[in-house]
Amino acid sequence: MATRTGIGVDVHPLAENRALVLGGVKIPHTHGLAGHSDGDVLVHAIIDAILGAAGLGDIGTHFPPGDEQYRGIDSTILLTRTVEIIAEENWRVQYVDATILAERPKLHSYNSEIRATLARSMRLSDGLVSVKATTTDGLGFMGRGEGIACMAVATLDDS
C-alpha cells in the first residue's frame, strides 16, 4: 500500500457584497471572500493538497478560474469532484488537516459544522478532518482584515 501527502495553500481578499464561506459553511461577517467561485479558501487549499498528493496538478488545472461553469459555484461541489478524480487514479483521502489564518471573524464556534461539511464532501468521518483557526496578531494583510488564507495537508493511500 502506498501513502502520499500533499500540501495546499490558498489566499483570497475580503470584499463587500459577498458571503463569507469557509469549509462550505456561511459565516456571518461584514465581508466575504472574492473569487471566481464562492472564494472558499479552506476548500481550495484542501483541493490543492489532495491533488498534489495524487500528483494531479492543482485546482486551476481541473477547475479553471475563467470557466463560466464554475462562476459562483459552491466549492464543496468541487471538493467532492476532486475526490472522484483521485479515485479514478486509485487514490483515496485518509486524513485532512487545515489551518485558517484570519484576524476576524472568530471561527471557533463554527468548527464542528465546518468539519462535518468537509467530511461529508469527502465521504469521510468527522474524526478524519481537522480544522483550526489562528490569527496573525494584527500583522500583514490578514491582520488588517484585508484577506484570509488557509494551509492544508492531505494524506492519501492507494485503494
> What residue ranges define each of the domains in the chain, with the CATH number in brackets?
3-158 (3.30.1330.50)
Report the alpha-carbon distance of residue 77 to residue 79 in Å, rounded. 5
Average pLDDT, the chain: 96
Identify the pLDDT of residue 159.
Answer: 76
Q: What is the mean pLDDT of residues 81-89?
A: 98
Identify the pLDDT of residue 1.
Answer: 83
Identify the pLDDT of residue 92.
Answer: 97
Provide the whole-model pTM: 0.97
Report the alpha-carbon distance of residue 10 to residue 157 in Å, rounded. 24
Query: Are the C-beta atoms of 155 and 53 separated by less than 8 Å?
Result: yes
Nearest residue to 116 via CA among 104, 106, 107, 128? 128
Q: Distances from the Cα of 132 to the Cαs of 63, 72, 99, 101, 135, in angstroms?
A: 26, 25, 5, 9, 11
